[in-house]
Each structure stands twice: as C-alpha cells, then as structure tokens.
C-alpha cells in the first residue's frame, strides 16, 4: 500500500465537537495530500456513556480515548483526533501524537443569557461547571457564587443554561467557536481569572508509532508553535502527576523563540491557589514544564492534589 492510494480512517467520538475536529483533520489531510481517501469512523466511548458521575470518580480523561486506540490496534482505524485537553499525559507506548494542529482561542468563556460579565453576577448566582480547575479559580475570584455541577457535551450544557438551570456557565471558547456559536461567548475570561487547562484549544492527531508512512503524512498538519506550547504545558502536568480530572491550569505563550509557562494548582473550594511561571527558549519546554511543576510542589501543590485522591 503506497501513500498514493491509501485510505485513512479517522476514529472519532460522536459529539458535535469531536465530529467537527475529525472533519477538520479530514479536510486538512486532503488539502495537503489530495491523493488520499479519508473516511470517518464515529464511535461511542465509555466517557460518553457515563454521564451522571463526576469524571474524577470513574477514571478520568482516558475514558474518552481508549476505544479509539483499540480501533487503531485492531486495524479498524488509522488515526484518532483528540482535543489535547482530554488526552492524558501518560500515553500508551504503542501510540504517539504525531501532529498538533494550530491552536484555537485557548481561554474559557463566560456564557450567560442575562449577565454581561462574571463580575456582574449577583451574590449567590448559580454557575455551572464540572471542572475542578474552573471551580477553584472562580471560587477564588467570586467566593459568593454558587457553583453547580454541569456535564454533557457543549450543546447539552448550553441547553441546560437556556432552560434556566443556571445563571451562567463556563465553557472553553474553542468549542463554541468551532461549533459556530461564538456569539454565545459573553466574556472571555482572562488568564489571571481563569488559567486555561493544559492543551486547551489544540487538536492532536494520534496514530500507531509503527506506521511510518502515516507519520510522514501527518507532519504537514503539525503547527510548531502550538506543539511547543502544548509540550511545555503537558510536561508540567506530567511532573505533577495530574492524571485524571484535576484543579490544574497550565498555559504557555510564545513570543518569537521565548516561551513563558504559567501553572496553577488550586483547592477546589478556592481558598488556596498556587501559581508559578518560568521563561526560556521554546525548545526547552519540557524543562520549563518540570521547573514550574517543582516550584508549585515547593509551595504545597502535592498536598492539595493528594487530598483530592483520598
């Protein structure tokens, strides 16, 4: 089988956002390699089926990608497309992330039908998010708000807001933009209020490490600045062993060849938030990630994280 006539099958979750990302990767593959045939293989994953339990209790983010990896191991699919935010830092040995696509808006969005900003919410207003990272930072900023659990895909969450279950909800801006719902973003939360999650807004492409031909084809879709940023962000989480759903923010910026990484670990109740930053050459992202993680551990991040796993 030559790269000339190869059919690339993309394993993807079935949510609207996952399908958008898979279609995006299909379009990019065909743009760079018009000779290919590209097909989508939509699948349900454990993470999609169990909707009533907080993710941290049922095994975390890996639940969303295991089925996709099995499809690749069994030869039913060639690549899997992921939101980098949902990809655990501990990666199975047989697979690699062989392209990281250009990053969309990495910040969190405040979405409300009544209020213009998070600061305009009245005391005791009900805000929906299931992310411990968002909860921790929003409680720190506005201890008076009432944070309530909110799960499901982007459309489900918006429907719950529109039904009046919440005064506001927090979602990733990237998901809303990709789904053509940018107008629902009322306020973009700046990183000093809500530091984004590792990899937020970036899409990664995974395939088997033994598929050299495919790895070469995927190189055309890789965006070096995004990859350098995400490598640094993930190195921080790896050092912190931020395995499942955790109150950790990790956000890198790139200015020419200079990378600045900021990390945050917070108590879910918002009573203690730790921050650290490091700056250096872009290719040293892994070292910077470890440096920021160790600065956070020195401040007591280990105790905050340990308390969550008990």
Looking at the annotation, which residues are catalytic?
86
CB of 297 to ligand PBG, least distance (A): 25
Number of residues that bind ligand PBG (CB under 6 A): 11
The residues in 8-37 that bind ligand PBG, with binding defined as CB under 6 A, are 17
> Contacts from 119-127 at CB under 8 Å and sequence distance 24+?
121/145, 121/167, 121/168, 122/167, 125/167, 125/168, 126/165, 126/166, 126/167, 126/168, 127/166, 127/167, 127/168, 127/169, 127/170
Enumerate the β-bridge partners of residue 82: 204
Which one of residues 128, 201, 204, 243 is an interface residue with ligand PBG (CB under 6 A)?
201
The yes or no reply on residue 249 touching ligand PBG (CB under 6 A) is no
The yes or no reply on residue 263 touching ligand PBG (CB under 6 A) is no
Which one of residues 175, 249, 263, 285 is an interface residue with ligand PBG (CB under 6 A)?
175
SS3 state of residue 3: coil
Which one of residues 172, 282, 293, 301 is an interface residue with ligand PBG (CB under 6 A)?
172
Which one of residues 8, 25, 101, 174 is an interface residue with ligand PBG (CB under 6 A)?
174
Task: Find out whether 118 and 193 touch, Cβ atoms under 8 Å.
Answer: yes
CB nearer ligand PBG, residue 110 or residue 115: 110
Stretch that binds ligand PBG, among 87-95, 114-122, 167-175, 300-308 (CB under 6 A): 167-175
**Nearest by Cα to 205 from 3, 11, 55:** 11
Dist. CA 108–CA 190, nearest whole Å: 8
The yes or no reply on residue 245 touching ligand PBG (CB under 6 A) is no
Dist. CA 307–CA 11, nearest whole Å: 36
The yes or no reply on residue 88 touching ligand PBG (CB under 6 A) is no
CB nearer ligand PBG, residue 130 or residue 262: 130
Task: Find out whether 186 and 115 touch, Cβ atoms under 8 Å.
Answer: yes
Buried/exposed 91-117: b ≥16 CB within 10 Å, e otherwise: beeebbbbbbbebbbbbbbbbbeebee
CB nearer ligand PBG, residue 154 or residue 228: 154
The yes or no reply on residue 171 touching ligand PBG (CB under 6 A) is yes
Residue 34 DSSP one-character state: T
CB of 45 to ligand PBG, least distance (A): 12
CB nearer ligand PBG, residue 170 or residue 218: 170
Stretch that binds ligand PBG, among 113-121, 168-176, 185-193, 264-272 (CB under 6 A): 168-176
Strand-strand pairing, 7-13 and 37-43: parallel
Stretch that binds ligand PBG, among 23-31, 79-87, 185-193, 206-214 (CB under 6 A): 79-87
The yes or no reply on residue 38 touching ligand PBG (CB under 6 A) is no
Task: Find out whether 252 and 226 touch, Cβ atoms under 8 Å.
Answer: no
Strand order in the sheet with 95-100: 37-43, 7-13, 79-83, 203-208, 95-100
Which residues make up the interface to ligand PBG (CB under 6 A)?
A: 17, 83, 85-86, 154, 171-172, 174-175, 200-201
């Amino acid at each position: 089988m030559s790269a000339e006539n190869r059919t690339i099958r993309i394993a993807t979750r079935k949510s609207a956002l996952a399908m958008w990302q898979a279609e995006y990767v299909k379009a990019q593959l065909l743009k760079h390699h018009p000779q290919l045939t590209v097909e989508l293989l939509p699948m349900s994953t454990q993470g999609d089926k169990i909707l009533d339990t907080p993710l941290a209790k049922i095994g975390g983010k890996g639940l969303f990608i295991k089925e996709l990896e099995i499809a690749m191991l069994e030869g039913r699919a060639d690549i899997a497309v992921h939101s980098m935010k949902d990809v655990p830092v501990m990666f199975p040995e047989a697979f690699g992330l062989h392209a990281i696509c250009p990053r969309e808006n990495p910040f969190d969005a405040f979405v409300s039908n009544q209020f213009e900003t998070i600061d305009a919410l009245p005391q005791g207003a009900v805000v929906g998010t299931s992310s411990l990272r968002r909860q921790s930072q929003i409680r720190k900023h506005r201890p008076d708000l009432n944070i309530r659990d909110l799960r499901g895909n982007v459309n489900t969450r918006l429907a719950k807001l529109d039904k009046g279950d919440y005064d506001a909800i927090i979602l990733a801006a990237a998901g809303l933009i990709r789904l053509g719902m940018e107008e629902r973003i009322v306020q973009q939360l700046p990183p000093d209020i809500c530091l984004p999650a590792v990899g937020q807004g970036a899409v990664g492409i995974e395939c088997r490490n033994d598929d050299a031909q495919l790895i070469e084809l995927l190189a055309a879709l890789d965006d070096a600045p995004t990859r350098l940023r995400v490598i640094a962000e993930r190195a921080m989480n790896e050092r912190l062993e931020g395995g499942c759903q955790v109150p950790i923010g990790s956000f890198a910026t790139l200015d020419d060849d200079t990378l600045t990484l900021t990390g945050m670990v917070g108590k879910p109740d918002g009573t203690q938030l730790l921050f650290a930053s490091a700056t250096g050459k872009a290719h040293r992202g892994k070292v910077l990630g470890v440096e920021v993680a160790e600065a956070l551990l020195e401040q007591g991040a280990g105790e905050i994280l340990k308390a969550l796993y008990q």
